[in-house]
């Protein structure tokens, strides 16, 4: 069964309370379904921002995209999640990831750990959130039962298995560690590389009773009549893909509004991506595409 599209916008900077609330209302009017905030030092704290977003709007859900789980103690995170879900009237979607920027952990005085240790911490955190939030005696208690829907973002084999086991939403970054560059520097994955990642996830999730929603984070939206020229310009930034590969990359959208809508339909068929997230810089640019795809 083909899932209908959902659309999210991930906000990296908030200038003021008034401007943030106005932006949330603009996103709601444009048709976005989810208002999202990431979890990085130097960016807004996610939970207060999401509570303000919910107070400023009526329809959209709100979510973390994604929490850097290494920043969080599971018991304290359960308190934040339950409180935020209650204060937003059950509109929270909880996105979790391992974190990928060593410098942020060092600045916060927190251990970085090996990739395996970071996945271990994420796994323990999910288990504790399920235990605590699923307990009817836990105070505070979330509005959603047994907990808010869980989105997990990651790429590796263990992350795919963890996502398949626990997540209601499987998020695919479409990025990977850039070879020969400092840890945390990412480059875009090609369409074929993402094919392999999605296939790995699908194999791990084969026994699920109910399929998860699949999400992709789009890094750039360019409305243009010349797709190739846009890809050529982007390729000049040395991001790991050539012009032809960029035209096919699921994390980039180049073309007219109709062409981009067609690309998203094709990628939903190929990868199962029905939940599309864009960055806040593309909030207005992407809005006509939402209109084109609404209801499909």
Answer yes or no: is 1 within a domain.
no
pLDDT score of 53: 98
pLDDT score of 180: 66
Q: In whole numbers, what is the pLDDT of the chain averaged over residues?
A: 95
Average pLDDT over residues 27-56: 98
For residue 176, name the pLDDT band (cuts at 50, 70, 90): low
Average pLDDT over residues 213-239: 94
Answer yes or no: is 199 within a domain.
yes
Domain count, the chain: 1
Q: Does the structure show a pLDDT above 90 at 238?
A: no
Answer yes or no: is 266 within a domain.
yes
The three state secondary structure string of 74-119 is HHHHHHHHHHHHHHCCCCEEEEEECCCCHHHHHHHCCCCCCHHHHH
For residue 179, name the pLDDT band (cuts at 50, 70, 90): low
In 125-172, beta strands by DSSP E: 150-153, 169-172
Average pLDDT over residues 153-182: 86
Average pLDDT over residues 73-97: 98
Q: Does the structure show a pLDDT above 70 at 184?
A: no
**Residues 6+ away with beta carbon under 8 Å from 128:** 74, 75, 78
CATH of the domain at 199: 3.20.20.30
For residue 116, name the pLDDT band (cuts at 50, 70, 90): very high
pLDDT tens, position by position, 87-114: 999 999 999 999 989 999 999 999 999 9
Answer yes or no: is 31 within a domain.
yes
pLDDT score of 155: 85
Residues 120, 78: Cα–Cα separation, whole Å: 18
Q: Does the structure show a pLDDT above 80 at 58?
A: yes
Residues 193, 208: Cα–Cα separation, whole Å: 24
pLDDT score of 54: 98
> What is the model's pTM?
0.96
Domain span at residue 144 reads 6-293
Q: Does the structure show a pLDDT above 80 at 177?
A: no
Query: In this structure, are residues 264 and 278 in contact, taking their beta carbons and an 8 Å threshold?
Result: no
Q: Does the structure show a pLDDT above 80 at 186?
A: no
For residue 183, name the pLDDT band (cuts at 50, 70, 90): low
């Amino acid at each position: 069964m083909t899932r209908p599209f959902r659309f999210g916008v991930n906000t990296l900077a908030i200038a003021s309370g008034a401007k943030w609330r106005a932006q949330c209302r603009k996103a709601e009017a444009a048709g976005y379904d989810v208002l999202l905030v990431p979890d990085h030092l130097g960016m807004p704290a996610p939970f207060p921002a999401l509570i303000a977003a919910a107070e400023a709007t009526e329809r959209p859900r709100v979510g973390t995209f994604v929490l850097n789980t290494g920043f969080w103690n599971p018991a304290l995170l359960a308190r934040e999640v339950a409180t935020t879900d209650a204060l937003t009237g059950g509109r929270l979607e909880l996105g979790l990831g391992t974190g990928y920027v060593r410098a942020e952990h060092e600045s916060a005085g927190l251990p970085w750990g090996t990739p395996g240790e970071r996945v271990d911490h994420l796994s323990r955190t999910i288990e504790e959130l399920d235990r605590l939030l699923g307990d009817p005696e836990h105070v505070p208690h979330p509005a959603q039962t047994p907990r808010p829907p869980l989105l997990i973002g990651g790429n590796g084999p263990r992350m795919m298995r963890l996502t398949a086991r626990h997540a209601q939403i499987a998020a695919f970054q479409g990025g990977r560690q850039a070879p020969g560059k400092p840890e945390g520097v990412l480059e875009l994955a090609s369409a074929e590389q993402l094919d392999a990642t999605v296939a790995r996830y699908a194999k791990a999730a084969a026994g699920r009773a109910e399929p998860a929603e699949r999400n992709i984070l789009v890094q750039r939206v360019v409305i243009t009549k010349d797709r190739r020229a846009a890809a050529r310009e982007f390729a000049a930034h040395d991001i790991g893909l050539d012009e032809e590969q960029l035209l096919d990359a699921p994390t980039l959208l180049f073309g007219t509004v109709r062409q981009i809508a067609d690309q998203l339909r094709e990628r939903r068929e190929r990868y199962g991506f029905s939940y599309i997230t864009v960055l806040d810089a593309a909030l207005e640019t992407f809005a006509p595409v939402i209109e084109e795809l609404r209801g499909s």
